[in-house]
């Protein structure tokens, strides 16, 4: 899922080892995945009084969460205009508006924890990679302004003067933020544990069987009975689905040594560009720069690691082209694998044709954390048997509108009489 030395893990330390499941047990809700998405789902459920248990094959937040560069943006990888062509203008606008609400929802619910997690509001700067991209971004600017988002256009001279970026133009969005995702996930889980949630690390869920009115999870030699199951294990969740809803890619990142003028990093907006593959840059609270991008399709973890030096060099070159200066000394580098959907939106909730008490929180793409803020409430609504206003935007109900939603050739789901077995693809 990631390289061995992502920045957040090195910065914060692995912490004490979590307990491993050593017995069979019963619960109301079993959450598979102890990353930032699982943490936000668990947090949304603590007020329900349900018995919630979380499982992860690693330790807390040590999968893709520790490799995330944690740019919190309302800006979806798919532009608003393009998303409107896929889903219709009304749903596209609701998707962007939901992401924009994520910031206030987070800040209202957990202000103290966010402060401890280095959460900071930051503007977002969306660059035209070259002259050919200017018209496209100006059309995007108009679409965002029409729905009421606070955005403005910066010409090349102002872009260079204010941010040092050598590009022909950019959209400046007032809304954005950055965070330490590792601290945030661990803090959320610490709070959940105080409310009775149980977490088991290094406890891989090998399969989910449906036994009458409950699910039976196979975790090593132990069995866990659960009325509801929520799968939020990043791209590894795909093994529990009967259809392909995402493609897996590798992304690469580096963090520099602290700058000679740390304030330059702490004042930096979230920078990304309209290119494939694109470059993104953000600062950290301790005066470093995080630079990432250069995504490539996933082949294997070994191939990903072999590519790391080359891709880091490319990031360095692109940084120099963007800012007209040499990249500061690099302290750490890493790579991670992530999933991407056809429209850049998450898949949250139950899957049509599967048991509605089995839900997924697949918060894929560049907006994973902002999507996960909504995932908690959407999953809770599903458990309580209520519809949610975003079901037709972030849920599986939109599958008919997505062009590459396909049945797997090696579908990992088979029927055992009237029971539904969900295991790994053979």
Q: Which ranges of the chain have pLDDT less than 50?
A: 403-426
pLDDT at residue 191 in the model: 96
Going along 156-221, which residue ranges are E strands? 169-173, 177-178, 198-200, 205-211, 214-219
B/e letters for 94-126, b = 16+ CB within 10 Å, e = fewer, are bbbebbbebbeebeeebeebbeebbbbebbbbb
Q: What is the pLDDT of residues 214-267, one digit of tens each?
A: 999 999 999 999 999 999 988 788 888 877 788 888 889 999 999 999 988 988
Q: What is the pLDDT of residues 46-70, one digit of tens each?
A: 999 999 999 999 998 888 888 888 9
pLDDT at residue 154 in the model: 98
CB 321 within 8 A of CB 166: yes
Domains of the chain listed by start with CATH number: 7-67+182-245+343-422 (3.50.50.60), 121-176+247-340 (3.30.9.10)
What's the token pair of residue 19?
A: 């307990």
d(CA 260, CA 317): 21
Q: Is the whole-model pTM more than 0.95?
A: no
């Amino acid at each position: 899922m990631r390289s061995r030395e992502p920045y957040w893990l090195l910065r914060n330390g692995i912490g004490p080892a979590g307990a491993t499941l050593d017995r069979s047990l019963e619960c109301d809700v079993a959450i598979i995945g102890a990353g930032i998405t699982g943490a936000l789902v668990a947090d949304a459920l603590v007020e329900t009084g349900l018995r919630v248990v979380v499982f992860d094959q690693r330790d807390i937040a040590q999968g893709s969460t520790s490799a995330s560069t944690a740019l919190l943006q309302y800006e979806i990888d798919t532009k608003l205009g393009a998303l409107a062509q896929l889903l219709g203008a009304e749903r596209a606008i609701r998707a962007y508006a939901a992401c924009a609400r994520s910031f206030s929802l987070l800040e209202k619910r957990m202000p103290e924890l966010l402060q401890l997690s280095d959460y900071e509001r930051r503007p977002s700067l969306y660059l035209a990679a070259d002259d050919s991209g200017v018209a496209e971004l100006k059309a995007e600017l108009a679409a965002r302004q029409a729905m009421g988002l606070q955005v403005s256009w910066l010409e090349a001279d102002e872009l260079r003067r204010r941010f040092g970026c050598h590009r022909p133009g950019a959209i400046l969005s007032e809304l954005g933020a950055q965070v330490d995702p590792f601290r945030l996930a661990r803090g959320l889980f610490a709070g959940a544990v105080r409310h009775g949630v149980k977490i088991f690390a290094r406890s891989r869920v090998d399969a989910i069987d449906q036994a009458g009115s409950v699910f039976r999870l196979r975790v090593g030699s132990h069995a866990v009975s659960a009325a509801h199951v929520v799968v939020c294990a990043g791209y590894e969740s795909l093994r529990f689905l009967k259809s392909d809803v995402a493609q897996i890619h590798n992304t690469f990142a580096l963090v520099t040594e602290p700058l000679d003028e740390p304030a330059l990093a702490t004042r930096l907006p979230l920078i990304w560009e309209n290119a494939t593959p694109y470059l993104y840059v953000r600062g950290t609270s301790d005066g470093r720069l995080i630079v990432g991008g250069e995504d490539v399709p996933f082949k294997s973890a070994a191939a990903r690691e072999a590519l790391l030096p080359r891709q880091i060099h490319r990031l360095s070159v692109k940084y120099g082209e963007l800012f007209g200066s040499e990249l500061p000394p690099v302290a750490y580098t890493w790579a991670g694998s992530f999933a991407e959907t056809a429209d850049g939106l998450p898949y949250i909730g139950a899957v049509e044709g599967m048991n509605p008490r089995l839900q997924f929180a697949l918060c894929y793409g560049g907006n994973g954390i902002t999507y996960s803020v909504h995932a908690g409430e959407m999953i809770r609504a599903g458990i309580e048997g209520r519809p949610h206003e975003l079901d037709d935007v972030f849920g599986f109900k939109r599958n008919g509108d997505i062009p590459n939603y396909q049945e797997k050739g090696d579908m990992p789901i088979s029927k055992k009489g009237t029971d539904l077995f969900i295991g790994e693809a053979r």
